[in-house]
Amino acid sequence: MPAALITGITGQDGLYLAEFLIAKGYEVHGLIRGQDNPKQHLVRSLVPEVQLHRGDLTDMTSLVRALRDSQPDEVYNLGAVSSVAYSWDNAHLTTDVTAVGVLNVLEALRLHLGDDPGRVRFYQASSSEIFGKAQETPQTERTLPWPRSPYGVSKVYAHYLTINSRESYGMHASSGILFNHESPRRGLEFVTRKISHGVARIALGLQDELVMGNLDAHRDWGFAGDYVEAMWLQLQRDEPDDYIVATGETHAVRDFVATAFQHVGIDDWERHVRTDPRFTRPAEVDHIVGDASKARTELGWKPRVAFRELVAMMVDADLAEQSRQSGR
Ligand code: GDP
């Protein structure tokens, strides 16, 4: 039975990946932060098979211990301070976790592996935020990064550190450059879930308006459940390498809003939406879209859930939850 260690197990991707690996017959271990992390109950109820280890990406000794105790064949580093908006106000914390945290995992792994550095396969969740002010369209594995936030800068560091680990030490280290991927498990601090949650509440009469930032930004949005399969496929390759994971389709935030409202039968959606500079950012990633042809040809990966289905899935999940909570 292969074993995997996942950092970021309590997040959207960690939960989907844990479910995916358990279905494949893996023994799954997760790193859990803090003394009494409230999200551990989520892991225990959704994926009770997961064995949790206490640790923190900023505490290298805890990572050495987690590796020793879990003896993984594969390590998936999904843990990060993951909100771009939050990263401006918390730039040091973002750097400590999202950049230096990756150095800690890779160094702990290098110590753990001794003179057999390729024995455990390492996956780094890299991000389309590295492209920021995009230097070409669509973005490929060879596009020059130009990050636009403390989060993006941290992800560039982590991406190149991963590449350097395989080039310098022969580690089996791969990066997946994941474009935005969403689901009903996405946190409310991200725009898609903020919209699906707000639209569901407006449809049920629990809220009147949705207050938004920049509606003109374009993102390549896929379904997180599809993206964790690409993570696993990447680590099954004998040669470590980096792959873009994206749908190849881009939509404005405005399209997501309109599609979500249309899904609940509201066509005059503009009546319910107001913009407020409070939600705009010091620098914006205006337009990104990924070219995942390398993943398609080499990994045989393609996304299954298209844009409209994703919006519908998220709005329906929020409608169900909000009507259960409110009794409407
Ligand atoms: P990101 O691509 O990792 O920054 O993911 P987000 O979901 O946080 O943001 C996606 C885009 O939505 C960005 O261009 C934001 O500026 C834009 N956006 C517009 N209004 C909002 C809002 O109210 N909240 C968030 N999080 N983003 C917003």
**Ligand 1 pocket residue status of 107, Cβ below 6 Å:** no
- Using the mean position of ligand 1's atoms as its centre, give its distance from the Cα of residue 190 in Å: 6
Quick check: is 129 catalytic?
A: yes
- Using the mean position of ligand 1's atoms as its centre, give its distance from the Cα of residue 191 in Å: 5
Q: Are 231 and 176 in contact (CB under 8 A)?
A: yes
Q: Which amino acid is at 25?
A: G
Phi, psi of 3 (to 5 degrees): -120, 145
* Smallest CA separation from ligand 1 atom 25, residue: 191
**Ligand 1 pocket residue status of 127, Cβ below 6 Å:** no
* Smallest CA separation from ligand 1 atom 3, residue: 84
CB hemisphere CA count around 151 (13 angstroms):
23
- Using the mean position of ligand 1's atoms as its centre, give its distance from the Cα of residue 322 in Å: 23
How does 31-60 read in b/e, with b if 16+ C-beta sit within 10 Å?
A: bbbeeeeeebebbeeebeebebbebbbeeb
Phi, psi of 178 (to 5 degrees): -85, 125
How does 103-116 read in b/e, with b if 16+ C-beta sit within 10 Å?
A: ebbbebbeebbeee
Express the helix, strand and coil content of the chain in percent, nearest 5 each: 45, 15, 40
Q: pLDDT value at position 231? A: 98
- Using the mean position of ligand 1's atoms as its centre, give its distance from the Cα of residue 232 in Å: 27
Q: Probe ligand 1: pick from 13, 84, 133, 179, max atoms within 8 Å of CB? A: 84
Strand partners, 178: 127, 245
- Which is catalytic among the residues 70, 127, 154, 165? 127
Q: Probe ligand 1: pick from 128, 177, 191, max atoms within 8 Å of CB? A: 191
Q: pLDDT value at position 246? A: 98
Q: pLDDT value at position 199? A: 98
- Using the mean position of ligand 1's atoms as its centre, give its distance from the Cα of residue 218 in Å: 10
Q: pLDDT value at position 137? A: 98
- Minimum-distance ligand 1 atom for the alpha carbon of 127: 3
- Minimum-distance ligand 1 atom for the alpha carbon of 281: 16
Q: Are 101 and 80 in contact (CB under 8 A)?
A: yes
- Minimum-distance ligand 1 atom for the alpha carbon of 288: 2
- Using the mean position of ligand 1's atoms as its centre, give its distance from the Cα of residue 187 in Å: 12
* Smallest CA separation from ligand 1 atom 15, residue: 214
What is the full per-residue pLDDT of the chain (328 aa) written as tens digits? 999 999 999 999 999 999 999 999 999 999 999 888 999 999 999 999 999 999 999 999 999 999 999 999 999 999 999 999 999 999 999 999 999 999 999 999 999 999 999 999 999 999 999 999 999 999 999 999 999 999 999 999 999 999 999 999 999 999 999 999 999 999 999 999 999 999 999 999 999 999 999 999 999 999 999 999 999 999 999 999 999 999 999 999 999 999 999 999 999 999 999 999 999 999 999 999 999 999 999 999 999 999 999 999 999 999 999 999 999 8
- Minimum-distance ligand 1 atom for the alpha carbon of 193: 7
Q: Is 233 exposed, middle or buried (0-12, 13-18, 19+ CB in 10 A)?
A: middle
**Ligand 1 pocket residue status of 284, Cβ below 6 Å:** yes
